[in-house]
Amino acid sequence: MTDSEQISRTVSEFHGIQTPESLRPAGYAALLDRYQLKVPLPRVLAGIATLLRSPELRAGLLGARDGHEALRILRAHAGPSRR
């Protein structure tokens, strides 16, 4: 697969919103990024971090009992909502 065929690219900002880590948009976010769609953003978008730098975040995610706890940990790490 060539660079021009890749679905998503690594970003540190997505549609004007600073991301907590460099990441590759995933799922719906990847489609929005790839085709530069100008549509209202959903409340939650997915991205895959290229490097998980925070040992506290890594330990918290590995120890999370379920997806709800993992999401709470991620939100706490990201800080206050920018919306």
- What residues does each domain of the chain span? 1-51, 52-83
SS3 percent helix, strand, coil of the chain, rounded to 5, is 35, 20, 40
pLDDT for res 46: 85
Distance CA 52, CA 21 (A): 8
* The residue to which tokens 């590759």 are assigned: 24
pLDDT tens track of the chain, all 83 residues?
455 556 668 888 888 888 877 888 888 888 998 898 999 988 888 888 776 667 777 677 777 888 788 788 877 877 665 54
